[in-house]
Chains A and B, each alone.
Chain A
Amino acid sequence: LAKTTQPISMDSYEGQEVNITCSHNNIATNDYITWYQQFPSQGPRFIIQGYKTKVTNEVASLFIPADRKSSTLSLPRVSLSDTAVYYCLVGDMWGSNDYKLSFGAGTTVTVRA
């Protein structure tokens, strides 16, 4: 299992960009990096996934350096509704025989007005 390390919490203000970095030094060749968002009393939901370089979708960007030992989730122009816990998950998400996918402790992002 690729162990992940994230900051415990981050504070921001509306309209700012939030960058959350996840360390995963023992990432394996077949591992992908996936970020999930979780609101209180809900299950986590998928935000973005990448293998290397940069991935962008309508809600976030994911930056992965060449050595893949870390990754950064970027949330542009956050709003109050982006207040949530963000999890970095590293594992083989595609057809592996071993789906022992475990999450780290997550980063609590608080957006203030």
Chain B
Amino acid sequence: DAGITQSPRYKITETGRQVTLMCHQTWSHSYMFWYRQDLGHGLRLIYYSAAADITDKGEVPDGYVVSRSKTENFPLTLESATRSQTSVYFCASIIGGELFFGEGSRLTVL
């Protein structure tokens, strides 16, 4: 039971490049989330999705784009990466009142 799988686990890119972080769930949970985690800020919600083709902004959506064409996939795209987007990104889904998280994707923007 893999649960939530994120890829890549580690990524180094340069300012201005496009980066896509992938998230795949082996369940069929309706809701999925993207968070970023920075020292001193805890986990901040970027975007979430209620179902395929339904997405909504969280606390810090600027600079990010999401899509959800299939229930099991929820990719996060940085269209033009900036240094301030260096962070650890977590994907999650929710069922039964409990959030389930992936292992995270550590992104460094140089």
Query: Which residues of A line the B interface, CB within 8 A?
Result: 32, 34, 36, 41-46, 49, 87, 89, 93-94, 97, 99-106
Contact = CB atoms under 8 A, between A and B. Distances in A.
B40 A105 contact: yes
B74 interface: no
B104 A32 contact: no
Contacts, number: 64
B110 interface: no
B97 A94 contact: yes
Interface string B1-27: 000100000000000000000000000
Contact of B58 (A87, A97, A100): A100
A36 to B, nearest CB: 7
Q: Secondary structure of the B side of the interface? A: strand
B27 to A, nearest CB: 15
A45 B50 CA distance: 21
B94 A99 contact: yes
